[in-house]
Amino acid sequence: MKNLVFQALAEAARAGEPVALALISGAKGSSPQKVGAKALFYTDSRIKGTLGGGCLEAEIQHRAIQSLQTNQPSTFDLLLDHDFGWDDGLICGGKVSGLIIPNAQSAGDAFWQALANRQSTLTWGIKKDFSITRAEAANDFLYQETITPPCALWIAGAGHIAQAVAPLAAQLDFSVTVFDDRPALANHNYFPQEIALQVNVWEKLATLRLPFVPAFGLVVTRGHRHDALVLKDWIQKKFLFLGMIGSARKARTIFEHFLEEKIATPEQLQRVACPVGIPIKSQSVQEIAVSIMAQFIQKRAELVYENQGSPAAHSEIVEGT
């Protein structure tokens, strides 16, 4: 999934359209957005991205339009107290600081497109002279950010649960691949174009290697036998977390068999949630998809983001002001 602010910057660069980039580089206490939040401000009052909305965003928009008129970058420090935000209800009590960079599109189409695509880990930053560049050393930067590829989500099975989960997962910044041995289901009549599809017999699919990014797996095939067949192979792969559709009784039966046959260790089975999803009394397919993705979001935060630092705009913040 592409970063929409970076994508908009790349498009502005191609069109030669002036835009001001504003971002939050520091936050203390309660605030409507976190470090790394970004928004683009256009001369016709359009905004892409968000810094939290309300009076905070309105104030920064006013300053951003001025910066486009004067071509002067600036910093800001705003206290979100009663005096600042009473009219709009923004009385968080926190403080946010940040940067406003006019004509940020001038860094170039290729620069912003690489960050938007997120195909590899890239670090960029804003130097003390307000220039935008790839970041190497940290001593002369006002702000640095490392952009990482999205986590992978492999889904075994292309049935109705997968058809609901896959587009939702893509919206939630997972790079999704669906696996099935049925081409009648595993096709783009049922899945959006951004969902990758792998169609083959399961024995062939099992040989595919995980990408070099944090990976999660969801097993939702057409029956217990196929679920166990996939799990037998996937449990040997380095998924951070695996979820499998089914009941606690199903999990107990499969897990006991795996232990007896030495297919998996207790430690490996601890990475498997069955039944998958958080308990929200879901009934419809769409509700089941929400419960599943809520659990995967939680696990991603615990297993990936807590190790990298809190994410902002799908990025790891290295240093801020």
Q: Residue 260 pLDDT > 80, yes or no? A: yes
Q: Could you give the C-alpha distances from 37 to 3, 21, 131, 249, 252, in angstroms and in order?
A: 12, 11, 19, 44, 44
Lowest mean pLDDT among 2-6, 19-23, 52-56: 52-56
Mean pLDDT over the full length of the chain: 88
CB 123, CB 146: distance < 8 Å? yes
Cβ–Cβ under 8 Å, residues 215 and 240 = yes
For residues 10 and 105, give the distance between their C-alpha atoms in angstroms, rounded to a whole number.
7
Cβ distance 200 to 193 under 8 Å?
no
| Cα separation, 195 vs 188, whole angstroms | 8
Check whether domain 151-307 has CATH 3.90.1280.10, yes or no? no
pLDDT of amino acid 140: 85
Task: Give CATH 3.40.50.720 domain extents, the chain.
Answer: 151-307
Is the distance from CB of 57 to CB of 38 less than 8 angstroms? no
Q: Looking at the predicted structure, is the pLDDT value of residue 79 above 60?
A: yes
Residue 226: pLDDT over 60: yes
Tell me what pLDDT residue 41 has.
Answer: 97
Q: What are the residues whose beta carbons fall under 8 Å from the beta carbon of 186, sequence distance 6 or more? A: 158, 178, 179, 180, 197, 198, 199
**d(C-alpha 102, C-alpha 68), whole Å:** 5
Q: Do 264 and 274 contact (CB within 8 A), yes or no? A: no
**Statement: residue 170 has pLDDT above 60:** yes
In the prediction, which pLDDT does 262 show? Answer: 95
How much is the pLDDT for 310? 41
Q: What is residue 287's predicted lDDT score, i.e. its pLDDT? A: 96
For the cut 50, the answer to whether the pLDDT of residue 195 exceeds it is: yes
pLDDT confidence of residue 87:
45
For residue 50, give the nearest of 22, 9, 76, 11 by alpha carbon: 22
Please give the pLDDT value at position 30. 61
Whether pLDDT at 254 is above 70: yes
pLDDT at 139: 72
64 has pLDDT over 90 = yes
| H or E stretch covering 97 | strand 95-101
For strand 151-156 and strand 174-180, is the pairing parallel, antiparallel, or unpaired? Answer: parallel
- β-bridge mates for residue 316, sequence order: 146, 311
Choice between 321 and 178, residue whose per-residue pLDDT is larger: 178
Name the β-bridge partners of 174.
Answer: 151
What pLDDT score does 81 carry? 60
Q: What is the largest CA-CA distance in the chain?
A: 73
pTM of the model: 0.76
Q: How many CB atoms lie within 10 A of CB 113?
A: 17
